[in-house]
Amino acid sequence: MTTSLRRILLVAVAATAIAVSATACTGTDTDADTLTVGFVVDPSWAQIPVAADAGLFDDQGIDVKVINFSSGVEALQAVAAGQVDITTAADVPTSAALVRNPALRVVGDGSRWEGSKIVARRDAGVNTVADLAGKKVGTPLGTSAAYYISNALATDNIDAELVQVAPSAIVTAVSQSNVDAVSIFQPYQAQAIEALGPDTVELTGGTYSQHSLYLSTESAISAKGETIGKFFTAIGEAGTGLTNKSDEAVQAVAAATQLDADLVRSILEEFDFTLQLTPDLATKLQELAEWAQGEGNIDAGATLPDYATFLDTQFVSS
């Protein structure tokens, strides 16, 4: 088997494609040794391109097909529809998805990221978080980036207007002055900072630290549990290279995210790539779900579940 970064399947999937009929979608590969993995193109899940490029999936005797997504919201729709066996998604969209799709399971917490920033335009008169009052902040609503800016604004009791901007449109929105600032995850955060150049103001606030999760479904776990276990063995090994910021790991992430290698090396400093799945994640998901319900991302009449029941710890140590 050869599952190098140059040979894994990288297919950009739009949100509209996820809603196609069953006749138009073949779903995942039925081969028990093959996994179709949804990858939100973000260093938060850098283990995937590192494992692929280093041949770690091959070492485990599994074939991994990777499908790219621009956000966890889209990726979660795909796994719920049976289009991928495993997907990556941040904790915020996961908290809402588990309410709508109770067959989903959290099978790993791949990294914790404390590098969230608000990227603002100096020429918009923004130099501090307080200056965001009355300003337009672009963010993909319902995502971890939206929670970050909401939490930062609420902490300082600031009223700003959050504007829906898709991840792929973030750089254009802020560089063309359609918004005064943006809140976005990597790699778009780094790209926005680069695009604004000397006009960039980087702000931090709030108390949020992102959990970067791996999710599957009950049916995929039942059919491919052994292969999923091997997948996480490879992911764990890849995390070691990321923690050490080896040249090979940096180059693999740079190729996958289309970021400069030196920038990737600095970004990796923001992550804890220890693969884990701890009980306190359930409490965090509960808090995020309460926020999502208040924002209308979860139906107001829905009863929030016991999130501990969604944590499947058989693959990753707690």
CATH number of the domain bearing residue 132: 3.40.190.10
Strand-pair category, 86-90 with 118-121: unpaired
**Count of CB atoms situated within 10 Å of the CB of 100:** 13
Tens digit of each residue's pLDDT (9 = 90 or more) over 298-318: 999 999 999 999 999 999 976
Give the C-alpha separation, 230 to 27, whole Å: 21
Tens digit of each residue's pLDDT (9 = 90 or more) over 169-182: 999 999 999 999 99
- The pLDDT of residue 207 is 87
User: How many CA atoms within 13 Å lie on the side-chain side of 238?
Assistant: 31
Q: What is the mean pLDDT of the chain?
A: 90
Q: Which of 182, 203, 224 is the last residue of a domain?
A: 203
Residues 45 and 177 in one domain: no
Q: Mean pLDDT over residues 217-245, rounded?
A: 96
Residues 235 and 272 in one domain: yes
- C-alpha dihedral, 108 to 109 to 111 to 113, nearest 10°: 150
Give 10-23 as a DSSP string: EEE--HHHHT--GG
Tens digit of each residue's pLDDT (9 = 90 or more) over 6-20: 333 333 333 333 333
In a domain, 3, yes or no: no
- The pLDDT of residue 1 is 43
Give the chain as a DSSP string: ----TTTS-EEE--HHHHT--GGG---S---TTEEEEEEESSGGGTHHHHHHHTTHHHHTT-EEEEEEESSHHHHHHHHHTTS-SEEEEEHHHHHHHHHH-TTEEEEEEEEEE----EEEEGGGT-SSGGGGTT-EEEE-TTSHHHHHHHHHHHHTT---EEEE--GGGHHHHHHTTSSSEEE--TTHHHHHHHHHGGGEEEE--SS--EEEEEEEEHHHHHHHHHHHHHHHHHHHHHHHHHHHT-HHHHHHHHHHHT--HHHHHHHGGGEE---B--THHHHHHHHHHHHHHHHTSS-TTPPP--GGGGB-TTSS--
Q: Which of 146, 174, 203 is the last residue of a domain?
A: 203
Tens digit of each residue's pLDDT (9 = 90 or more) over 241-258: 999 999 999 999 999 998
Structurally, how many domains does the chain consist of? Answer: 2
Residues 242 and 279 in one domain: yes
Tens digit of each residue's pLDDT (9 = 90 or more) over 62-92: 999 999 998 899 999 999 999 999 999 999 9
Q: Is the pLDDT of residue 5 over 50?
A: no
Q: Is the pLDDT of residue 140 over 90?
A: yes
In a domain, 317, yes or no: no
- The pLDDT of residue 27 is 65
Residues 47 and 103 in one domain: yes
State which residues form the domain around 264. 10-113+210-310
pLDDT above 90 covers what percent of the chain? 84
